[in-house]
Structure 1
């Protein structure tokens, strides 16, 4: 049992070190998987719920930026329907006591970034999550120690 636990601990440490050393590749892999999920956004309820939560919590939109939503067949500018050339409402700025406008991201993909700053979040979620991790690295280190020490 001790050897199994030691191997798990070493693998966890190696995984963390490799992720830090190859940060750019890690970010690229994450962006690639987020974009793959965005393609199936309305078909995969679990991914949709996670993406909606992340976009609301971290005030971000898409993977690398808001224009990533063009990969989704409903949000692509060539698609028919009300969602065409738009982003999900979770990308939009919202006021605390207002009713959510679910079409607030309507026709934003064909506009310039500066025109959208007060309408939707233009920062990508990958960057927003990494900024949050860097701002809270002490808490993350404490959590890691809390997991690693008992092992």
Structure 2
């Protein structure tokens, strides 16, 4: 074997080792992440079943977490085993699965932008339906409360969406009538204690009147603006995560001593 051939083989082995190590570590980390998501999803589902009032099985965030965790774990585990055992079939399965996932996400983003108005209408309709059952579905209640606090918003399209809820409608009996939940309230400073009665009798007031006490803008618009502002970094992070895993070790015969000598 000539010196050039030996040097080329050493360089190829080094590249192969780096790719294999990178893929093994990243796939292992994602497998552990998948297991963690599965555990969280199972715990959330157990809690949901104990307090379950609605029958929307596939709408439950806990079920979505479990399905997401299983998908991440299976795909990552295939990549990890394929890298450790130099199994080309598993590596190809892993590679093309990631390619398909990336393409589906890109298609989803493109279709969402092309059909933006229809997507927004469907989103607003679903949020209004969720508001209608706000006190019956604890999963949706916790999610919407967190969104209203984080994005400083109230309701779906606007704060008056809360009129569809049986407890907040203006003709409903009780102290919550014609009001909104306290998570819609405006906090002057971070850490201030919120007055839980600040949303009292706000639905019959106009936007200019409620602006200092509750958030008037809807959460659909707030989330849409946030998504548009962060779409670039989100796609960049997604590609940065997937591309290193796509670099599956494919050096011919690497690690098996099958390089041919150059004469």
- Counterpart of 1:51 in structure 2 is 144
May I ask how many residue pairs the two structures share in their alignment?
Answer: 151
Shift of residue 17 of structure 1? 1.4
Matched, 1:15 2:97: no
Matched, 1:119 2:213: yes
Show structure 2 runs of 5+ residues with no match: 1-92, 247-263
- Counterpart of 2:161 in structure 1 is 68
- Counterpart of 1:36 in structure 2 is 129
Shift of residue 3 of structure 1? 4.4
Matched, 1:130 2:224: yes
Shift of residue 87 of structure 1? 0.4
Shift of residue 128 of structure 1? 0.8
- Aligned counterparts of 1:146 and 1:124: Cα–Cα separation in 2: 33
- Counterpart of 1:107 in structure 2 is 201
Question: What CA RMSD, in Å, does the superposition of the two structures yield over aligned residues?
Answer: 1.7
Deviations 1:1-43 (A, max 9, x none): 2544443333222222111110111111111111111011111
TM-score, reference length from structure 1 = 0.90
- Counterpart of 1:145 in structure 2 is 239
Structure index of larger Rg: 2
Show structure 1 runs of 5+ residues with no match: none
- Aligned counterparts of 1:101 and 1:146: Cα–Cα separation in 2: 44
Shift of residue 73 of structure 1? 0.5
Shift of residue 147 of structure 1? 4.6
